[in-house]
Amino acid sequence: MTEVGRKILADDPDTPGSLGIAISEAVEVAASEPETRYALGSVLNHVLLHQTVIGEEAIKQMAMAGETPDLVVGCVGGGSNFGGLAFPMIREKLAGNLDCEIRAVEPAACPTLTRGTYTYDFGDTAGMTPLLKMHTLGHDFVPDPIHAGGLRYHGMSPLISHVYELGLMTAENRHQSECFAAGVEFARTEGIVPAPEPTHALAVAVDEARKCAETGEEKVILTALCGHGQLDLAAYDKYLSGEVEDYEYPQERIDDALTRLPDPEV
């Protein structure tokens, strides 16, 4: 229903869509309607600062339990959930009040931090937003159709990108099948069906807990369950039916998308 959307469909009738495309369409609608305003809910720095209430509450909850985390792990797409949890922890770590690893987990099909480039790029597919210095796979990068829709974004928050460049956090990527396995295990043990997005962090948390069980090491692992999976039961059904596919994004497609990065000097 938008000019941007029609153009993208004309170029690729089978496109699975992406957050970048959705942002382009939303910006177009807002720009063409005098009474419409649009506020981006992720990626941008002010959103991450707003979300830090998550980490601030986590610090107080941990204190009530008489614990501090050894590992803080969160899923990351645009960055708001992860930044909201991790930034207060990074502050405490820099102040010498906390000694822990802080790790972001992203999809192998959309490896922005682990395989992207740190440079200036548009925050949307059509190039309608201001340029942001961030880790990016190229603004016209369209990830494969994994079920964690909230993590299918070509860029990363400028703040998280900067923190990653400073070495204050680590990052890894996971395939969706192992993430769904962690989600099913979490549902069966905790009674909560997690959304596909936080299962990426849960997969790492489960692996780390199992390592501790093998070595006898005691470790406090903190993660944020940023969404429930009540609207994702069809995705779980596909996983349990053996229909979920893992995607390893080809390097040549990433390299191709990066050839169309904007020139920040223009």
The CATH number of whichever domain residue 126 belongs to comes to: 3.40.50.1100
Q: Of the spans 4-13, 124-133, 198-207, which averages the highest pLDDT?
A: 198-207
On whether residue 12 sits in a domain, the answer given is no
Q: Which long-range contacts (CB under 8 A, 24 or more apart) does 191-194 make?
A: 192/225, 192/228, 193/228, 193/229, 193/230, 193/232, 193/233, 193/236, 194/225, 194/227, 194/228, 194/229
Say yes or no to pLDDT of 211 above 70: yes
Maximum alpha-carbon separation in the chain: 62
pLDDT at position 88, please? Answer: 97
Q: What is the mean pLDDT of residues 106-111?
A: 94
Tell whether 22 is covered by a domain. no
Residue 230 is assigned to a structural domain of this protein: yes
Domain count, the chain: 1
pTM of the model: 0.92
Residue 25, domain member (yes or no):
no
Assigned domain for 24 exists = no
**The predicted structure's pLDDT at residue 25:** 94
